[in-house]
Amino acid sequence: MAVAKRIALFLTVNFLVVLTVSGILSFFNIQPFLNSYGLNYGQLAIFCLIWGFVGALISLMLSKIIAKWMMGVVVIDPNTRDPAHATLLRTVHNLAQKAGLTEMPEVGIYDSPEVNAFATGPTRSRSLVAVSSGLLSRLQYGEVEGVLGHEIAHIANGDMVTMTLLQGVINAFVMFFARVVAFAIARGFSRNSDEESASVSPMFYQIIVMVLEIVFMILGTLVIAAFSRYREFRADEGGARLAGKEKMISALSALQKTIQIKDPEHDQQSVQALKISSNTGFSRFFATHPPLEKRIANLQNMR
């Protein structure tokens, strides 16, 4: 079922991206950037900016819907009579008010043994804070409050929008430079193979583009991951100011003890970066979250 959801989501989002981009390119009459005369850098730049940002922005606009569907988030009714749900809702709203949010985020719970939480949404006024059932059952109230403070800080800092804009810029740069470098390489090979013809083989050019996009995207991922780690330190500090420094430290310490509990069914990339903790990955340079011990040390040194 989870695999079917992911496939359906992938196809739906990509259909919307292609449809939107095609409409924009047609509306603004963007001409092909590669012709018999070479590359039209102006047209290429516009083409890459549109493709780079449209996908990221559509994902942002659908982020709440995607998270609810893929993670199975059940949103708490603001008029709930369940004491535990009412306490969770009240805590989130109190923290949101302290953070200066004018619109209260939706609050939801998703069924998972993983001790985690995440924040998402297209804007500060249309956000969602979701916590796992594992977090509620394993952490003390003060620790839960620290986690919630961290997630509210993500919203208050506008991290969802910032990450989207950064992803859009990286996408555009990757597409642009991959095509510029690929054209130079393909033209060089054409000249070497036939001195009388400098025409570029479209198939050879596209193969080089694909290879270079993979290489450049890996480099771009390093930039995104580095900013994500910086943003986590900032959200920890924001959570400490909202919920209290000791509660934030206690929350991260509790996460250290439960970090081995993983739930593959809820390991979604669309919300992974905005969870309070995540796998460090095969390299610390690609990790979206700093090690928990470094985050705790950072808070301990916080004034």
Separation CA 282–CA 285 (nearest Å): 9
Residue 151 appears among annotated catalytic residues: yes
- Cβ(260)–Cβ(134) under 8 Å? no
Give the pair of three-digit tokens for residue 295. 């985050």
Helices of type H across the chain: 2-27, 41-61, 63-71, 83-98, 133-138, 141-156, 159-193, 202-243, 245-258, 269-272, 292-300
DSSP structural state of residue 282: S
SS3 281: coil
Instruction: For 150-198, give the DSSP string.
Output: HHHHHHHTTHHHHHHHHHHHHHHHHHHHHHHHHHHHHHHHHHHH-TT--
| Catalytic hit among 106, 143, 145, 151 | 151
Mark residue 213 as left, alpha or beta (left: phi above 0; alpha: psi -120 to 50; beta: remaining): alpha
Residues catalogued as catalytic: 151
